[in-house]
Structure 1
Amino acid sequence: MGTSWSARIVDAPANAQAEIEAVLARIVAEMSHWEPGSDISRFNRSVMGRWQPLPPQFLHVLSAALDLARASSGAFDPAMGLLADLWGFGPAGSREWLPEAHAVAEALAVSGAGHIELDPAGRRARRLTPAQLDFSGIAKGFAVDAVAERLLGAGVPDFLVEIGGELRGEGIRPDGQPWWVDLEPVPGARLAPIRVALHGLSVATSGDYRRAFTHGGRSYAHTLDPRTGRPLENGVASVSVLHAQAMLADAWATALGVLGGAGIALAEREGLAAHMVMRDGTGFAEHLSPALQAMLD
C-alpha cells in the first residue's frame, strides 16, 4: 500500500507481528492495484462484460464502496483508476505534464461505479467498460479493521492499530486510560488540537497535503472529484471522520472532502462525527459536525 503500519498491544502474544503481517499480505494480494498479480489488478485487466469471481474480503470492500458511492451521490467512487493513472497518482507513475481535457473527458466517460456490476449472491462482479477499480480511499481503513478483528479473535482486547495514519483503538491502555489521539493537524494551520479517545472507535483523515504534485506553480492534490475527473479545487485542506469501522471512516473522509462545504451537511444527515478544515484566504477555517461536537462536549 506504499505506507507503514504500527500497533501498540497490551500483553501482545509472541506471534502478534507475524499474524498482523499475514493479514496485511493477504489484503495487498487482493486489493493493491500497485501489484500486477493482485486480484484487483487482474479484475482491471479482465474482459469487459465477463463475470469475475471475487474473494470474500474483496467482495466485502467492493460492496461497501459501491454502497458509499450511492450514499454520497458519487462523491466517493471506487472505479476511478483510469483517472488516477491519467493524473499520475496510479501504478503508471507520476507525470511531468497535465492531461489534456479531451483525455480526462474520455476517461471519465468510461469510469465510475455505474460501470461496475456486482452480483453479491454469486460472489462475482464485472466491468461493463474499461473502468478500473482503485481502493485507495477504502483499503487502508479495511486493513486496520482486519488487523483489529484478528487481534480480537485471538483474545487480545487492548490495542491501538495504525496504518498510514488511519487508527482504531480497542480496550484501554495499561494505565487504565483509553487510547487518546490528536486529529491529524494541517501543516501551517494554527488551530487548537482536537484530542479524541479511541475506545471501540476509529479515525481516518484525508488531506490535500498528503500527496500532490506541482505544475506551473500550482499544486494538484491526489484526491480526485469523481464528478469532474480532476483534482479537488474546493479549498478543503483536510477531513477527519470518526466511526466504529475504520473502513467507513476512511471512505467517508474522502467523500466529505470531495463535497467541501456540503460535506458537513451530509455528515449531519448521516450522523457522522466529522472535522473539516478549509483554506480561507490566507488562513484556515474549521467545521465540526454536530455528532463530533457532542462527542467533545
Structure 2
Amino acid sequence: MGTCWSLHAVAPPEGVARGVKAAFDVVIAQMSQWDAASALSRINRDPPGIWHPVAAELAHVLRAAFGIAQASRGAFDPGLGRLTDAWGFGAAGPVGRVPADAGTKGGAIEFDAAKQRVRRTGEAALDLSGIAKGYAVDLAAEWLLAQGVRHFLLEIGGELRGEGIRPDGQPWWVDVEMPPAVSLPPWRVALHDLSVATSGSYRRRFSDGGRDYSHSFDPATERPIVNGVSSATVVHRSCMMADGWATALTVLGPAAAIALADEQGLAACVIARGREHVSRAWRAMLD
C-alpha cells in the first residue's frame, strides 16, 4: 500500500504481527493498483465489457464505494484509475508536467452487487485508493478482535482504529493531522471503538509552470481540486467508511462538504483556506 503500519495492543498473542499482515495481504491481492497480479489490476487490464466475479472482501469495499458515490452525488468515484495514472499518482509513476489528455475517455465502473461481479465500460479504470486502506484497517481489526485482542490501536498511513482502552484506563488519544502552514491547533480525538481518517490534498502533489497540482481529483472536472479544501477528517465506527467519506468531502467545497456531512450524520472537520468547518455530529462529540 506504499506506506507503513503500526499496532499498539494490550497483551497480544504470539504471532499477532503475522496475522495482521496476512489481513493486509488479502487487501493487497484484491485491491492494489501497484501489484500487477492483484484482482484490481487484472480487471483494469482486460478489455472493457467483461464481467469479473470478485471475492467477498472486494465486493464489500465496492458496495461501500458505490454507496458513498451515490450519497455524495459523484464526489467519490471508484473509476478514476486512468485519471490518476495520467497525472502521475498511480502505478505508472510520477510525471513532471500537466498531461495533455488526462480524461477517463468515457466509460464507468459497473458493480452488480447481487451477483458479486464488476466490469469496466469504455476506458474507465478501477481505483480504490480512497477507501481500501481504511478497509485494510477494519479487516485486520476484526481479526484481532476474533483472536481475543480487545484493546488496541491500529494504524495504516494515518488511518486509525482504536478498540477498548489503554492499560492506564485512558482511551486511545490521537491528534488529527493538520495541513502544513496552518496555524490551527490539532484536534485530539479519543478512539474508543472508533476510527478516524484524514484525506489531505497536500499529501501528494507536483508543480508545473509555477502551479501546484494535488492528487485529490474532482470527478466532475477530471482535474485536481481547486476548492480551497486542504484536508477533511471523518470520525466513524468503520475505518473504511471514514476513509471513503474523507475522500469524498475533500472534493467538495467547505460549505457543500459540511452540508453533506450533516445530511449523512457524519462527524467531520474540513480545513479550507486556513479555517475550520465542522459538522453538527463533530460538535456533538465535544460535549
TM-score category (smaller protein): over 0.9
TM superposition outliers: structure 1 runs of 4+ over 3 Å: none
Percent of matched pairs sharing the same residue: 55
Residues 1:198 and 2:191 aligned together: yes
Residues 1:15 and 2:5 aligned together: no
Check whether the contact 2:78–2:109 (CA below 8 A) recurs between aligned residues. no
Specify which of 157, 174, 177 is matched with residue 181 of structure 1.
174
Q: How does 1:62-101 map to 2 (within 5 A)?
A: 62-100=62-100
| 1:47 to partner: Cα distance | 2.4
Residues 1:169 and 2:159 aligned together: no
Aligned to 1:50: 50
CA RMSD of aligned residues (A): 1.0
**Per-residue Cα deviation, 1:64-110 (whole angstroms, up to 9, x for no partner):** 1011101000000111000001111111111122112xx23xx3342
Structure 1: gaps spanning 5 or more residues? none
CA distance in 1, matches of 2:236, 2:260: 15
Aligned to 1:290: 280
CA distance in 1, matches of 2:23, 2:144: 10
**Per-residue Cα deviation, 1:235-261 (whole angstroms, up to 9, x for no partner):** 111110000000010010011110122
Specify which of 142, 146, 153 is matched with residue 146 of structure 2.
153
Check whether the contact 1:108–1:228 (CA below 8 A) recurs between aligned residues. no
Instruction: Give the 3-state SS of the residue equivalent to 1:128 in structure 2.
Output: strand
Instruction: Give the 3-state SS of the residue equivalent to 1:33 in structure 2.
Output: coil
Check whether the contact 2:134–2:159 (CA below 8 A) recurs between aligned residues. yes
Aligned to 2:29: 29
**Per-residue Cα deviation, 1:105-149 (whole angstroms, up to 9, x for no partner):** xx33425xxx22222222211112121000110011000101100
Check whether the contact 2:89–2:215 (CA below 8 A) recurs between aligned residues. yes
| 1:209 to partner: Cα distance | 1.7
Aligned to 2:104: 108
Q: How does 1:226-245 map to 2 (within 5 A)?
A: 226-245=219-238
Q: Name the TM-score, length of structure 2 as normaliser.
A: 0.97
Residues 1:270 and 2:260 aligned together: no
| 1:220 to partner: Cα distance | 0.7
Residues 1:138 and 2:160 aligned together: no
Structure 2: gaps spanning 5 or more residues? none
Q: Name the TM-score, length of structure 1 as normaliser.
A: 0.94
Instruction: Give the 3-state SS of the residue equivalent to 2:104 in structure 1.
Output: helix
CA distance in 1, matches of 2:144, 2:155: 13
CA distance in 2, matches of 1:229, 1:243: 28
| 1:150 to partner: Cα distance | 0.4
Check whether the contact 2:201–2:250 (CA below 8 A) recurs between aligned residues. no
Residues 1:117 and 2:113 aligned together: no
Check whether the contact 2:97–2:207 (CA below 8 A) recurs between aligned residues. no
CA distance in 2, matches of 1:250, 1:85: 21
**Per-residue Cα deviation, 1:24-67 (whole angstroms, up to 9, x for no partner):** 11111111011111000001112221211101101111111011
Specify which of 121, 125, 150 is matched with residue 128 of structure 1.
121
Check whether the contact 1:239–1:276 (CA below 8 A) recurs between aligned residues. yes
**Per-residue Cα deviation, 1:171-225 (whole angstroms, up to 9, x for no partner):** 0000011101111112121112211110110000011221111111111111111
